[in-house]
Amino acid sequence: MWFRWKNRGFMRAAGWALMLATGCVAAVSADLEKEGQESMEEELKTGPRNVVEERVSNLVRRMTLDEKIRYLAGTGFDFEAGLIGETQPLPRLGIPAFRMTDASQGSKLTKGATLFPSTIGLAASFDRELAYAYGRAVAEECRADGFRILLGPGVNIYRVPNGGRNFEYLGEDPCLASQLVVPYIKGVQEAGVIATVKHFAANNCEYFRRSANSVVDERTLREIYFPAFRAAIEEAGCGALMTAYNPVNGDWAAENRWLVTDILRNEWGFDGLVMTDWWSIYDPEKVLTAGVDLEMPYAEILTKENVLAVLESGKITEADLDERVRCILRPCVEFGLLDQPHADPSLHSTWDAHAEVARQIGRESLVLLKNRNSLLPLDRSRVRRIALFGKNAVETSASGGGAAGFEPGDAFVTYEAAIRAAAGEQVEVKVYPEHISAEAAEEADIAVVFLTMVEHEQMDRNFEFDEDSLYTLNRVASVNPNTIAVVSLGGGVEMASWIDDVAALVYAWYPGTYGATALGEMLFGDLNPSGRLPISIEKRPEDTHYFGNYLPEDVILPRTFHGWDSKHERFDVEYREGILTGYRWYDTRGIEPLFPFGFGLSYTSFSYGDLMVTTGSEKGGPVARVRLRVRNDGDRAGAEVVQLYVSDPECDVRRPAKELKGFARIALEPGEEREVEFLLGLQDLSYWSDAAGQWMADPGTFEILIGASSRDIRLQAPFRYESRELY
């Protein structure tokens, strides 16, 4: 609790500093009614601005019961009119509406907003500083048009490749997701916008998300599916959280008291805003007693009649309603939303800087998975003709669909445009988006085939590309040995059947408005690829932990978005793999994936050495300090992602073969060498003990594994941990 309050206090201080910098302290929205302005002036007198709790409690005391009930739901939804969601205004008390916008990849409702590359691409960068810049840029675009609550970021763990919203999330590993979401949220909130971490919890199926009951044991939730949410709350001081559509162990996420009150509120100490996902609740009593504050987008379940009935039944009291309203208001007061105009049009001048952030995300997200005979980078002096195949070359999918996606704008860079710009005038580039010209493919020095498929909220997609895409790829590769495949998706796809036929393979995710520029730069060597897979890619579903344990057998996944009304009888998705998700499954079961977690090629090479592990001696401090040296042995500058895994081979409880516990992205010039240091805490050695009901670290010998991927371990060393601690 102390750490959390220290963090939130820092956020408040940052918020006031930002207001001072922009000259907004004590300013009031011009569109408030006169009565509201007078009330606000009185409020500033009676509740000191820097004492958040006094101000919030004062406002709640002055609310009527009717106002409290009305405040438990939003005002409506009208996307065409620019309304995704907002809180109720109470002009009598000087409380304006607080406007919301989707989502993690940009401000969907801001005019002319930048569409940033997908956040799964951010995860591929393994770059904490870039995560902060990403969040900050998105928030500045929110604030430019007056949207002060961002409905993101999403941190649901990648469990199956088919998931329609995988592109919105941060990969399969809880350590990676946790360490990237914290700087992202800090970037958002230090710009004066409230972040909303979502979707709590175990939301890993989109197609029938209202019907898929996630059956997950407590240890798996705590070790795999909770850590990124917990980090968002405890480390980043996130102001808001959104519940999920799906039931968790039988109870709808927003009606699950164990999730919202026992874990989120009581254990993690969250006292901010908990909102429902849109139209995702059913029982007013369960919602109110679970600890959820705000029904979105309007009062369908938490109507005045329903809330009064629950009050009269004695299941809740007016004091309970007061607490719900306090939780809605608290982050809004903390971030100064009562004291300044919500919109800051001057921030439109930052768009050029945001474009550069977007380009950098695109650069660091590209993952080179195959490069036979060092085909890449291409030499402009030797390449005369390049042929591009596939519609995605010219009608590039900038993002997946749904809440996170929107039009990339007039400045949108397609893959074709990026390659033409990078190739220069001396290289002829021809495009064949609809038909295959075998003659053109054969005559070209280089053939590039672009592959994608529809990914969208409320749908899950196939694991295989469609027949036309595969026919194009196979036909081109059969006549041109220098065929490069470029995959734009938010997750893995079947590639084992054709991977041997292509010379090079690039995973490009979704580029947003500007990110495609990076592909042209990478193909011609102006950019050295440095992205690493934030997921494992399987050879076939039969090899995976989710096989036969995902959707009902009668479900046929669509290839186009089918609309928002798909229905299915409730079914259980039993997470029988437990903690063995992603690389944990492959490494523990001894199964070879097609491409392992953390893998990615470079145009240079790196060597590792001088590993030293020292154990900590101070109670409460790090239990181990890990040092090593990394050297760029090649003739090109490049960035390496050093990954630290921990293994607990002596533990009597089932544990994965290894788990990621740290990573460092370092840029090195040719011949440059640098020391990398990691500090391991007690949590990094621990597992959740169902028997003890606590985290536990058993004494024994642990292995420190340093690698360039989960399957490419370069250095390892044992160290002893002697204590037995619960916490």
CA pair distance 550, 264, nearest whole angstrom: 27
- Would you say 607 and 642 are in contact if contact means Cβ atoms under 8 Å apart? no
Partners of 428 in beta bridges: 385
Q: Which two tokens stand for residue 369?
A: 């998975």
Q: Which two tokens stand for residue 622?
A: 């790090």
- Would you say 543 and 582 are in contact if contact means Cβ atoms under 8 Å apart? no
Catalytic site includes residue 690: no
537-542, Cβ contacts within 8 angstroms, sequence gap of 24 or more: 537/161, 537/492, 537/493, 537/495, 537/593, 537/594, 537/595, 538/161, 538/492, 538/593, 538/594, 539/496, 539/592, 539/593, 539/594, 540/494, 540/496, 541/463
- Go through the chain and tell me how many residues it has: 727
3-class SS letters over 538-551: CCCHHHCCCCCCCC
User: Which residues are within 8 A (CB) of 374 and not within 5 positions of it... i.e. 6 or more apart?
Assistant: none
Which of 127, 145, 173, 277 is labelled catalytic? 277
- Secondary structure (3-state) at 638: strand
Please count the other Cβ atoms lying within 10 Å of the Cβ belonging to residue 515: 31
Phi, psi of 190 (to 5 degrees): -70, -10
- In 489-532 the beta strands, taken as DSSP E runs, fall at 504-507
- Region for 455 from its dihedrals, namely left if φ exceeds 0, alpha if ψ lies in -120 to 50, beta otherwise: beta
CA pair distance 515, 257, nearest whole angstrom: 42
Residues annotated as catalytic are 277
